[in-house]
Amino acid sequence: MTRKISIILLTFLSVILCLWIWSAAAPKKAIILGGSTSVNPFMQKLTKEYYNKSEKVDFVYNSTGSQAGVGGVEKDMYTAGFISKDINDKTLTKGNNFLQICENSNECDFNPEVIKEIEKGEKDNSYIALEFAIDAIGVIYNPPTYWNQKIELKENKEITLNDLMNFDFKKEDEADKELLKKAYSGNYSWEELATELVNSHQWENNKDAYNEIINLINGQSKTKLITFTREDGSGTRSAFSDLTKIKDMSSSNVVNSNGSMIENMSKSPSLGYVSNGFLGQLSQSGIVKLAGFNGYKLPIGIDNDNPLEWSDQDKEWKSWESSSSESVINGLITDEFIKTVYDFKRPFIAIFNSYNKKLDQLIELFNFVNSNDSNEVFKSEGLVKNMKYKSLGGTSND
């Protein structure tokens, strides 16, 4: 019995030793990246694709959050840190600063030679921010069942409360801009939201439909609107907060990923937000639905390249028409839509230091990102490629 136990212990210790040796050796061979959990799915696919198409250069991405990504670069733990929000004068720790790469501008197109040729100062002042993608954010919700009830309009058309679900931050009326903030106040009901949405539209030609919708709402018991948000440090949460000016989300349920947001919201009526890449999990007939933002909607479902635009005259969502024949021919309608029309979006940015010993390998990775070889990875994650250096116009963090 004693010998059997000894063999088991010896085997166990051998396994632990092997794992320790592998863990110690992996960082020396691999190039370690880390940061935003939103960037993680893209980076996992990208680094795998790059490994297969390059000289087997191994990049490892640690999904630790945007703040941890920046900290990892500053402490030389990561060759590059990734954030899912724009840079500002508080992105880096006090005393560290971004290089002013672009002449007379805060952004300029990616050129790998610029990094190699730029005159470097002290290491503390040699951080570089490279935007590589635009990620749109969608406000999603699981409505009460009566929101699905169809109301007849003129000309044999029908409408539901879901059709009216749009948050407009461009209207001059402050009540429209405050609607989403009210939803996240913790003291708001589905019925109050529904009433304000109905009253934000014109009904001169459909007064009977208006009265029927109001009666439908008034016939419901008051139901508290439950909201979800992301954890502190999440780039998605930071971007959502910056775009909507909603700072206090203390009454909301907290989840730690986009996938978890959708999963939890599917269980009961609620409201939240996710990255565009996760809207493929939704469908037109699904429980969790997508709200409009400033009168526009992102495509949902798999392989759907059909952004929508609200017509208040017809009281319906219609296909958004691209003005670029090139976008139509190349299947880039959604990319054009997100770049030029849709406002609820945030950048994915890589932060690194020009003094990093593995800078050459990192630049080669960025060259791959900028090439057509990475296009399918961008498409699969619902991201728009946008390679630009970013700076703060000489703003110092001292």
Distance from C-alpha of 310 to C-alpha of 238, rounded to nearest angstrom:
27
Phi/psi for 248 (5° steps) reads -95, 110
Let me know: does 358 contact 78? Beta carbons within 8 Å: no
User: Which residue intervals of the chain bear CATH 3.40.190.10?
Assistant: 2-135+347-390, 136-340
Using the structure block, give the residue that is written with the tokens 């166990």.
Answer: 12
- CB atoms closer than 10 angstroms to residue 365: 22
pLDDT for 24 equals: 46
Let me know: does 138 contact 291? Beta carbons within 8 Å: yes
Using the structure block, give the residue that is written with the tokens 């309009």.
Answer: 153
**58: number of CA atoms within 13 Å, CB side?**
7
Strand-pairing partners, residue 227, are 271
CA of 9: how far to CAs of 18, 19, 20, 23, 271, in Å? Answer: 14, 15, 16, 21, 51
Closest CA to 197 of 221, 171, 219: 171
pLDDT for 44 equals: 95
Alpha-carbon torsion, ordered 236, 238, 242, 244, to 10 deg: 60
* CB-based contacts of 315, cutoff 8 Å, min separation 6: 153, 157, 159, 163, 201, 206
> Which CATH architecture is the domain 2-135+347-390 placed in?
3-Layer(aba) Sandwich (3.40)
- CB atoms closer than 10 angstroms to residue 26: 12
Distance from C-alpha of 349 to C-alpha of 132, rounded to nearest angstrom:
6
Single-letter residue type at 305: D
Question: pLDDT tens track of the chain, all 398 residues?
Answer: 456 555 545 554 453 344 334 334 444 578 999 999 889 989 999 999 999 988 788 999 999 888 899 999 999 999 999 998 899 999 999 999 999 888 878 899 999 988 877 777 789 999 999 999 999 999 999 999 999 999 999 888 999 999 999 999 886 666 667 899 999 999 999 999 999 999 999 999 899 999 999 999 999 999 999 999 999 878 788 889 988 999 999 999 999 988 999 999 999 999 999 989 889 899 988 999 999 999 999 999 876 668 999 998 899 999 998 877 666 555 678 899 999 999 999 999 999 999 999 999 999 999 999 999 999 999 888 899 999 999 886 443 44
> What is the homologous superfamily of the domain 136-340 according to CATH?
Periplasmic binding protein-like II (3.40.190.10)
pLDDT for 384 equals: 94
Distance from C-alpha of 166 to C-alpha of 197, rounded to nearest angstrom:
8
Largest CA distance in the chain: 89
Q: Tokens for 49, please give them.
A: 């694709």
Strand-pairing partners, residue 270, are 142
Q: Tokens for 130, please give them.
A: 């490279």
- CB atoms closer than 10 angstroms to residue 316: 14
Distance from C-alpha of 177 to C-alpha of 102, rounded to nearest angstrom:
35
pTM for this entry: 0.78
pLDDT for 188 equals: 97
Q: Give the helix ranges, DSSP H, for the chain.
A: 2-29, 40-53, 66-74, 112-117, 174-177, 179-183, 190-199, 207-218, 235-244, 258-265, 325-329, 333-340, 359-370, 375-380
Phi/psi for 142 (5° steps) reads -115, 105
Q: What angle do CA 335, 341, 342 make, to 5 degrees?
A: 80
